[in-house]
Amino acid sequence: MRALVQRVTEARVDVAGETVGHTGPGLMILVCAMQGDTEAEAEKLATKVARLRIFNDAAGKMNRSLLDTGGAALVISQFTLAADTRSGNRPGFSTAASPEDGKRLYLHFAKALAALGPKVETGRFGAEMAVSLTNDGPVTIWLDI
């Protein structure tokens, strides 16, 4: 599985003008299931994200995790993270999981993250979404599991 994690002061996702998910301070996580991924990878990624030390401690060093800060997360499905741009100008997405597997693993990731403690909200799988956020830092981390 693949994720793009952004430390945010706030984030929200709208579908057809309606806010379907939002968070205050914490993380906005774009998630992509790849072909061959399983629930085990989704759980491993959730644990990695929850424990990733990218929040500042009292000394201003990135030494605290989402679990340490009590922050929340907004999780959004993003199959375009599977883009292959090595040749030509049009990205290929053949390494992304099928829509059925992608949805199942995306929801499993969100559930696994929530089970670790943070409040988790999600976007709507397969919908045309408008995402807005205020990146804090900015801090953006790419993860592959």
Condensed to tens digits (0 to 9), the pLDDT of residues 31-49 reads 999 999 999 999 999 999 9
Tokens read off for 77: 């499905």
- Residue 139 included in any domain: no
- Residue 142 included in any domain: no
Catalytic residue among 9, 19, 80, 134: 80
For the chain, what's the residue count?
145
Q: What is the CATH number of the domain that holds 35?
A: 3.50.80.10
Residue 104 is predicted with a pLDDT of 98
- The string of pLDDT tens digits covering residues 82-122 is 999 999 999 999 999 999 999 999 999 999 999 999 999 99
DSSP track, 43-96:
HHHHHHHHH---EE-TTS-EEE-HHHHT-EEEEEE-GGGG-B-SSSSS-B-TTB
- Residue 145 included in any domain: no
- Residue 63 included in any domain: yes
The mean predicted confidence, pLDDT, of the chain is 97
CB-CB neighbours of 86 under 10 Å: 7
55 is catalytic: no
pTM, rounded to two decimals? 0.94
Burial state string for 108-129 with b = 16 or more CB within 10 A and e = fewer than 16: bbbbbbbebebebbbbbeeeeb
Q: How many structural domains compose the chain?
A: 1
Nearest Cα neighbor of 50 from 107, 113, 135 is 113
Catalytic residue among 23, 55, 79, 109: 79
Domain that holds residue 112: 2-84+91-134
- Residue 35 included in any domain: yes
Catalytic residue among 6, 78, 109, 122: 78
Residue 15 is predicted with a pLDDT of 97
122 is catalytic: no
78 is catalytic: yes
